[in-house]
Amino acid sequence: MEIRKSMLPVLRPQGGKEEIKALTEVIESGWWGKGPKVAQFEKEFAEMVGAKYAVAVTSNSHGQDLVMKALDIKDGDVINPSISFMATAMIPIWNNCTTNIVDVDPVTMCLDPEDVRKSITPNTKAIIAVNQAGVPAPIDEIRKFYKGLIIEDTAHSCYTPGAGTKGDIAVWSFQAVKTMPCGDGGMITLNDEKLYNKLKEMTWFGVSSTFSRVNKNDTVTGKPGYTWDYEVDKIGYKCYMTDLTAVLCLEQMKKLPKNLEWRRHIQARYNAELCHEVERPPFSDTVQYYCAKVPTSHRAELINYMATKNVHTSVHFKPLHKYEIIQKYLTHPDKECPVADKEWLKLVTLPVHSAMTEEDIDYVIYWVNKYFKENM
């Protein structure tokens, strides 16, 4: 097979004339900040995932941080999986907590419930349960012995049926290479009205949004219109989503069912046609990543080989406790995670995104299989 001239990315967003049109309309409206499009997106997204309330924010990480601050989670430890993105370990640290890293299941790469049980301390304030690559974390199992706060990290689960409903609160991601990308953004979904109202105000310094004050009676004139007068009764931050971002999400949400169907098609073809040396990941509704496993001794060579064929691959993820910067904040500094330490060395993420063609899928399968035919 002839080597392609351009690099096939492992992940990438895809937009078109619909997104351009929607952005143009917002720009021409003059309302670029948090306004009617954010409100519309929050409403529609909450309906899609089956939550009563939704709060749009600048990123998943900001969303989780805001939840911890709103619930006064600090001065303790927060449990999270060893296999996850760096943010999972840093969010507890931002809140003066240690990061209580636990081992993962060898198949799903999600939290291992038994290791969670063993790792809980009297100071455990919360558990961050990551749905790795869209595969649901075992929250039902963990609930059998842990009754505290569970934040369901649904960054990879937009949209897996039932995602966001198992934990006390869920936080989603619309980062540039997620299944519903907007450049960057996040959403907090929940059913607690009091916490919802608190989170809404905390996204903008504890102030009710400018948009929410439009068409209310002005406190000076008594006439409808924008009022400058507002109260601030809590310390807040600045992490709200803007209409420029929200319209991208709204357009991407319309395309989500078709895009997910295509991602699952790629998953099915990889599962059916890759050689036996490639271990298939568990089924994922979103296929945020296709995290295959290959013999450890061949991973680096395969990654380099695919690069020579202009195919970008990756690894999701290096164990969090392997990072020197994180080690000083560990709840259990001497904790071992033997499953994560072994399994991550096999991980290779193959390309999967809605911009791929059948020919692209053929190309990846051909060169992965050819590598193992020549090297095994």
Chunked mean pLDDT (size 10), the chain, 376 residues: 97 97 96 94 98 98 98 98 97 98 98 98 98 98 98 97 97 98 97 96 79 51 59 87 98 98 98 98 98 98 98 98 96 96 98 98 98 96
Return residue ranges of the chain for CATH 3.90.1150.10. 256-375
What's the DSSP call for residue 321? G
The strand pairing partners of 81, in sequence order, are 102
In the numeric block, which tokens belong to residue 336? Answer: 């071992």
Q: How far is CA 222 from CA 219, 228, 230, 284, in A?
A: 6, 12, 14, 55
User: Is the Cα dihedral 149, 133, 144, 162 positive or negative?
Assistant: positive
Q: What is the pLDDT of residue 209?
A: 52
In the numeric block, which tokens belong to residue 346? Answer: 């096999």
Fold of 17-252: Aspartate Aminotransferase; domain 2 (3.40.640)
Helices (H), the chain: 17-29, 36-49, 60-70, 86-94, 113-119, 139-143, 193-202, 243-273, 296-308, 324-327, 338-343, 358-375
State the Cα–Cα distance between residues 173 and 179, nearest whole angstrom. Answer: 9
Return residue ranges of the chain for CATH 3.40.640.10. 17-252
Distance of CA 323 to the CA centre of its chain: 20
Q: Which of 167, 187, 162 is nearest to 111 (CA)?
A: 167
Q: What is the pLDDT of residue 347?
A: 98
This prediction's pTM = 0.94
Q: Please name the amino acid found at residue 304.
A: N
State the Cα–Cα distance between residues 174 and 41, nearest whole angstrom. Answer: 12
CATH number for the domain formed by residue range(s) 256-375? 3.90.1150.10
